[in-house]
Structure 1
Amino acid sequence: MISIKVFFVTFLGETQTVTAHVHRTIHNFNLFPSDKKNDLEKERIGIIATRLYIFLTLVGLIILGFYTSFSKRGHTFTVEWPSLLQFEELHSMHSSTLNCPCSRFSMSYARIMSLSPRYHSICSSEYLEEHWLSYFGQVELDIESILLLSTDFRITGQSFFDLMRILCETSRETIENALRVFRSNRLVTMNALSRSQFNIETMTRMKQFEKRTITSFVDLIKLVRSSIQTNQLADEAWTNVEPSSQYNNETSKWSFRFRSRAFRTNSCSCAVSNQCTHPVGFYFQTDTSRSQPNITVPGLVLGCYTIDSLLLSTLECFYDKQCVKLVVDNYDFDVVGLVRPLNSHAVQIEPLRNENSRFYPNTTINEIFSQLFVEDWINSSNFTSYYTRCEPTQCTYTIGKHISLTYMLTMMLGFYGGLSAILEIVLPSIVKVILQQWPKRKKRIQLNNFNNITTDTIMDSSSKEPSHSSKNISEKLLSLNLFESERSSTEKRFLHKEIIATRIYIFLFILCLIAAIIYSGPFSNETKLTEKKSPTMNIVHDLHQKNISSLSCPCSKVAIPYSRFLSIKLDYHSICSSEYVSPLYSINLLKKNDSLSLALSTHYRVLRSLCQSSHRFIKNAEEVFGTRELISIETLTRSSFDFQIQAIKVCINIILK
């Protein structure tokens, strides 16, 4: 028991001794020892400088450690000659930073996309074949004994189906010609597009082609219709005009002229509108042109002209088997035994099929024709072919990673080395100056608070203090010694050499610092790459203003449609929006039925037609113009962009003139 107590007491004594030794060692730890062992003042300065050194070093290392642990560095990786599979994998993982420049910037549409139309069933049906058209041929046994009205289906049907066949063939030829031009166009891409971007790009271009092709052709047909109506040409079936005779009492002569036909069913005049209609069907031979058909063919109407009759009609009868039978069975209506038998193929003709059609049976032919008889467009794009043609030589992408432990330690060691070198030089001198100035400052404060000192004395001391202080500073600078040794304190010649060495050291240090600043400053020829991610318009403009010869701002999209940055607004002549070109004004003139009013009606009708044609032409031209693209690899300066716009405006003015 006694031995345990002795051991415990001994252990406590040794622990206290070790603790006291450690405390004394830490308290007196000095990284800046003096050459003079008994110089307590310098020892004190060294201990304080050591504590500041350790504190500042730890604070600096902690701050640097936190900064480097939370910061990320961009690591750029390069993949040479990436395959399609590699490209898609890279894009799925690094889409925001992936950059794969194409080795070939442009490629024809024929290489990368396919487009073909599927037409309406009427264009490939038996109704446009010769055996059905024989229904309307010269099939009378005795021409003298048959007198059918020109509005009878057996007469008007011939031109109806002939024109239908012509429009189908014309639509097909128009689309084929447009497709040849479309396939020769080129897609321009500076960087490889992703599969989704490629699909969007190709789909947009194909939709633009469909719309542009249809619009341009339909507008042409509208222009033809407008021209025919404006010139009031007489149809061979006299559906738009009717003869009129008038007796002149003064000359005792009859005058013969045509006048626009008025459709009694809806009080519509072909002189004003091309929407006038009359039902089509089968008539008795004794009927007149003002009679209603005895048997009506559903969906078919008679218009001012053959093209109006066709476009305003529907094909609903030819989708219905019973209606087709009605037409076939009434082939010899009111002329039984006076016509040859109908062709056997025509008798057995099948109705149209409505499967997989986007048009309803009661859809007007005008709506079907406005799509060039196209049911749908079969389109496809070949991304593999596009990528093969693009063939990027390399792909680069950037990954932001946390700084590695090795790099962090390297940075901290470098930081410690630089900070340590600076603190070893600066800290002892700073501490020495502070310790020397602190008692003086304390003494001045005490003197200022002492009430027995007169104002004059204070003024004198304050006036002398600056000169005394500046004198002390100059003396300290002249006697500055960074290489102080124990030997210099006894021999003045060593002290003088150390002061000279200090001055040379400071001079060389300042000289090297100036040289480093000049080398890395304005006189340096070193190329410095500065990159700005997603710069705004103002930043790009400011960079261009600086006239930097090596400035490069590549566009993310090389081809930009005009519609994105340019709009056109036209002011039409006031006549096109006046009441003179309204249909109502022409109708009122026609009602007057005098020569001047009829002439003015024709004049204003022509004006209305020209205004409408101009509107259609310009609207179509605007749509085509908006799909054209400005190709620019680099971002244009504002002046270059304005120059391009002015050139485009000149082209527009030339086209309009």
Structure 2
Amino acid sequence: MKTLTYFLNQFQLIRTTIQLNQFITADSNNAVLRRTLSNLIDSHRFVSNNEWDNTCSCGTNGSCMVSEGVFCRSYGTCFLFSSKPNQTIPGLFVSCLLVESILASSLECFYNTSCIQMLIDWYPFDRTETTLDPRVLNVTALDSTINSRFSPDTKLDIIVSQLFLEYWINSTNFSSYYNQCEPDQCFYTYEERFNRAYIIATLLGIVGGLSIVLRILIPPIVILLRRMYRQCRRFQTNVRREMIVEIDIRQKITLYLIRFQQFIRTINFYRKVKNTHSQEIVQTTDEISIIQRQQIATRLYIILFIVAIVIIVTFTGLNSPIQSIKVSSPTKLIFEQLQFQYSSSSLSCPCSQISVQHSKFISIKPTAYHQVCSSYFISSNFIQLLWDSESFESYYYDVDMKILSLHFNLLSSFCSLAKIMIEQKIEIFYSQQFISVELLTRHSFQIQIDSIIENFIYQVPINFRQIHNYIIDMFHANQLHNLFLTNWNLHLSSPAEYYLMRTDPITYNTTNISCSCAAMSTCSRSILTRYNKTVVLPGLVIGCLPIYGLRLSTLECLYDSICLQKLSNFSNMIYNIPSFLNISMYSRFYPISSVLVGTLIDELFIEGWQHETNYSSYFSICAPSMCLYGGLTVGLKIFIWHSLHACLHVRKWLIFRRRRIAPNHTS
């Protein structure tokens, strides 16, 4: 679709521009050369051909046509439009330009053997010296039995608009895609139970850890149990003590520290307990040395063990594994709640359909076109009034008004073409896909869509401008001859030169500066001539070609009632004075009355854009089957929180103990 639209836009733009610039063709279908003697000066002019059905004129209508045929059989007396054809050719038509003739015709004759033979028979026109190429005699008709979506009587305009394509073949090759992708690596996950290596490693880790923990914890536990047992026995004996001496808390702490220091000095994880009933164990010097080394090894072991525990706890606390929670078939409300509670990095909702057409959730259109595109000035009635008559004299003395008529005809065509192109561009935009693997939040969605829309609005006039400028530049580069002799004039040479028809470039003198159409395409003049009258209409100029003059003009005169009155008087439209444009109407083109028409054309006459997006439609098409969200583990947070509480409780208890009032003891 995009390929066809791109071709049709360019093709239609070229057709319109060529047709309304009134270029001369070799077959004289759109204009004929006439000669006149004015003031003893031999002069030649081109006159639009109006010998068509319904007296249509190529000057105002490029679609004039007549059936193609053989008009006579006598050589030397054949004139194309002198009479009705002796023999018509089915499906073929003649128009102002060859391309228009082809587009208006069909291939009906070429499917018929008798029609082809008729063309061969009529070709010589009774001229015995005319011979046909032998290959023509072997031409066969097109095969109507071949399956085609175009019937034999289908206009070539339709076939050309489809680029002569019968059908498209679409094929994909995953192997080629894979070779271009060339993945460096792949990651995958799988579930496995009863892995022997994992079980053995886990058991060894648990056994090793338990052995160390039990070796550390069991001796203090045994001591604690024995101490509790002794306390219970002392309580049962009910031994009275006359005096209870309270030991100061500092003395208790000092005593505990001394015992702890003694424990640290004597702790030994490597000592083997010997079974002996003797109360005293005599140790040799070697045994004492071994015990000392064992105690040093035990201290080093404890230090390394504590460091390892601290590292493990710190790493575990600072590590942030995510606990994933699955929500099946979430609604938009649930998704927005999850998005509010969790960051976008921890919330994931894969779309069931990752590609969504823009038309499903985007609406875009121009708010308005420039008011001139809906005014009377581009109507066929106004254009015809400026063109006036088809008399031979009008092509001599009323040329400027005909050129102005072409200006407004071009303006009308560009307005229509702009609207058609915008509609086609919007249709292509609607057919494009928006890709989102995961559901976007409303904010992210709006940012991306706004960027896409802004790029579309920016690119539409740029694409048109590039094509349009290329076309008009080619006109100047190829020096195409114009019917109204606005870029090149005709000049008959002397008898010594055998009356050759020469062409001389038109030169315009503006502000005492000479400008030649052979060198510059921006030459122009503002003085309009009609018979013996001249007038200057503000903003309206005539250039080397009608398209150049239109682009260099402004709409200043169309906003001014006095200027329009002058135009009406100059063109004898006394009873058809058009209404002026509303200068108070909003326009983004400023200053409103002096903006070049070329600028309006380049911007496709668009005053503004209106666009809307629908997030709900996008959500319903994306249709996430589930959402995964997670929270970071809070082990370190809990550890720090409870540790802080424990420190605060210990501090309060110490303060309370210090402030406690000790009782007075009297003897």
Q: TM-score scaled by structure 1?
A: 0.50
For normalisation by structure 2, the TM-score amounts to: 0.49
Query: Which protein, 1 or 2, shows the higher relative CO under an 8 Å CA cutoff with sep ≥ 6?
Result: 1
- Structure with greater helix share of residues: 1
